[in-house]
Structure 1
Amino acid sequence: MITRKNYLAAIIPFIDTELIKVMTGVRRSGKSIMLEVIQDYLRVKGIKEEQFIRINFEELFFEQYLDYHALNDYIEEKIANMHGKAYIFLDEIQEVDQFEKVINSLRATHKEQVDIYITGSNAKLLSGELATLISGRYVQFDIYPFKFSEYVEGRRSIGDTRNDQALFQAYLVEGGMPFPVFQNFHYRDRLNYLSDVYNSIMLKDIIERETIREPEILRRLLNYVLGNIGRTFSAHSVTKYFKNEGLKVSPTTILNYLGFATDAYAIIPLRRYDIQGKRFLASQEKYYVVDHGLRQAIIGRNEEDIELILENIVLLELMARGYDVSVGKTNHFEVDFIAKRQLETRIDCKYIQVSYLLASPETRAREFRPLKEIADNYEKLVLTLDSFTSDLDGIAHVNLIEWLLAEEV
Structure 2
Amino acid sequence: MIKREMYMQRIRPFINTDLVKVMTGIRRCGKSVMLELIKEELKSIGINASQFLSFNFEDMRNSHLCTAQALHDEVIHRTQNFSEKIYLFFDEIQEVEHWEKCINSFRLELDCDIYITGSNAKLLSGELATVLGGRYVEFTIYPFSFSEFRELYLSVFPDSSAPAIFQKYLLLGGMPYLANLRFMEEPARQYLIDIYHSVVLTDVVKRNKIRDVDMLSRIVSYVIGNIGSTFSSSSIVKFMKNEQRKVSPETVLNYINYCTNAYLFYQVKRQNLQGKQILATNEKYYMADHGLREAVFGGNMKDINLILENIVFMELLRRGYSVTVGKSGTKEIDFVCQIQNQKLYIQVTYLLASEATIQREFGVYDSIRDNFPKYVVSMDEIDMSQNGIKHKNIREFLLMDHWI
Same fold (TM over 0.5): yes
Stretches (4+) displaced over 6 A: none
Residue deviations 1:263-320 (CA, integer Å, cap 9, x gap): 1111111000111111100111101111111101111010111000000000011101
Q: How many angstroms apart in 1 are the aligned matches of 2:342 and 2:30?
A: 27
SS at match of 1:126: helix
- 1:354 matches 2:348: yes
What is the distance in 2 between the residues matched to 1:186 and 1:129?
40
Partner of 2:226: 228
Q: What aligned pairs does 1:190-339 form with structure 2 within 5 A after superposition? A: 190-339=188-337
Q: Which moved more, 1:62-71 or 1:302-311?
A: 62-71
SS of corresponding position for 2:87: strand
Q: What's the CA shift for 1:79?
A: 2.5
1:351-390 alignment, distance < 5 Å: 351-390=345-384
Secondary structure of 1:371's counterpart equals coil
Gaps of 5+ in 2: none
> Tell me, what secondary structure is at the counterpart of 1:372?
coil
For residues 185 and 147 of structure 1, the distance between their equivalents in structure 2, rounded to whole angstroms, comes to: 15
Q: Does the 8 Å CA contact 2:287/2:293 hold for their aligned counterparts?
A: yes
Give yes or no for contact 1:389–1:398 (8 Å, CA) kept in 2: yes
* 2:171 matched residue in structure 1: 173
TM-score normalized with structure 2 length: 0.97
- Letter in structure 2 aligned against 1:29: C
- What corresponds to 2:186 in structure 1? 188
- 1:154, 1:182 within 8 Å by CA — same for their partners in 2? no
Any idea what the Cα deviations from partners look like across 1:170-214, whole Å, max 9, x if unmatched?
000100111113321531111000000000111000111111111
Contact 1:307 1:356 in 2 (8 A): yes
Amino acid at match of 1:128: G
Residues 222-272 of structure 1, C-alpha deviations (whole Å, 9 max, x = no match): 111111100000010111111111111111111110111111111111000
Partner of 1:46: 46
Q: Distance in 1 between matches of 2:34 and 2:304?
A: 30
8 Å contact 1:21–1:116 — kept in the other structure?
Answer: yes
- Matched to 1:363, the amino acid is T
Q: What is the correspondence of 1:59-74 to structure 2 with a 5 Å cutoff?
A: 59-74=59-74
User: What letter matches 1:137 in structure 2?
Assistant: R
- Post-superposition Cα deviations, 1:18-65, rounded to whole Å, max 9, x if no partner, equal 111111111111111111111111111111111111111001111121
Q: Which residue of 2 aligns with 1:81?
A: 81
Match of 1:400 among 373, 394, 399: 394
**Cα distance, 1:82 vs structure 2:** 2.7
Q: Following the alignment from structure 1 to structure 2, what is the Cα–Cα distance between the partners of residues 194 and 129?
A: 29
Q: Equivalent residue of 1:144, what SS?
A: coil
Aligned to 1:126: 124
Q: What is the alpha-carbon distance in structure 2 between the residues aligned to residue 320 and residue 81 of structure 1?
A: 41
C-alpha contact 1:52 1:89 (8 A) present in aligned 2: yes
Identity of aligned residues (%): 49
Mean Cα deviation higher: 72-81 or 322-331:
72-81
Within 2, Cα distance between the matches of 1:115 and 1:254? 40
- Match of 1:383, SS? strand
Answer whether contact 1:87 1:116 (CA < 8 A) is retained: yes
Letter paired with 2:89: F
Residue type of the alignment partner of 1:104: N
Kept after mapping to 1: 8 A contact 2:272/2:326 = yes
1:8 corresponds in structure 2 to 8
How many Å apart are 1:83 and its aligned residue? 4.0
CA-CA distance at 1:370 after TM superposition: 1.1
C-alpha change, 1:182 and 1:156, in structure 2 (3 Å) is farther
Listed as ranges, the gaps of 5+ residues in structure 1 are none
Secondary structure at the aligned position of 1:296 is classed as helix
Deviation at 1:392, TM superposition (A): 1.3
Q: Residue deviations 1:365-408, cap 9 Å, x none?
A: 10011122211111111111111112211111111101111223
Three-state SS of the structure 1 residue aligned to 2:326 is: strand
Q: Could you say if the C-alpha distance between residues 302 and 73 of structure 1 is closer, same or farther in structure 2, counting changes exceeding 3 Å?
A: same
Partner residue, 1:35: 35
How well do the aligned residues superpose, as a CA RMSD in angstroms? 1.2
Instruction: Give the length in aligned residue pairs.
Output: 403
1:144-166 CA distance string (max 9 Å, x none)? 11111011111223344311210
Counterparts of 1:306 and 1:127, CA distance in 2: 34
Separation in 1, partners of 2:77, 2:336: 50
Equivalent position SS for 2:32:
helix
C-alpha contact (below 8 Å) 1:22/1:138 kept by paired residues: yes
CA displacement, residues 86-136 of structure 1 (integer Å, 9 cap, x when unaligned): 1111000000000011111011222xx211011110010122342122111
Looking at structure 2, the residues matched to 56 and 189 of structure 1 have their Cα atoms a distance apart, in angstroms, of: 25
Deviation at 1:327, TM superposition (A): 0.8
In structure 1, the residue corresponding to 2:363 is in which secondary structure? helix
Q: TM-score scaled to structure 1, two decimals?
A: 0.96
Question: Which secondary structure state, in structure 2, belongs to the residue aligned with residue 236 of structure 1?
Answer: helix
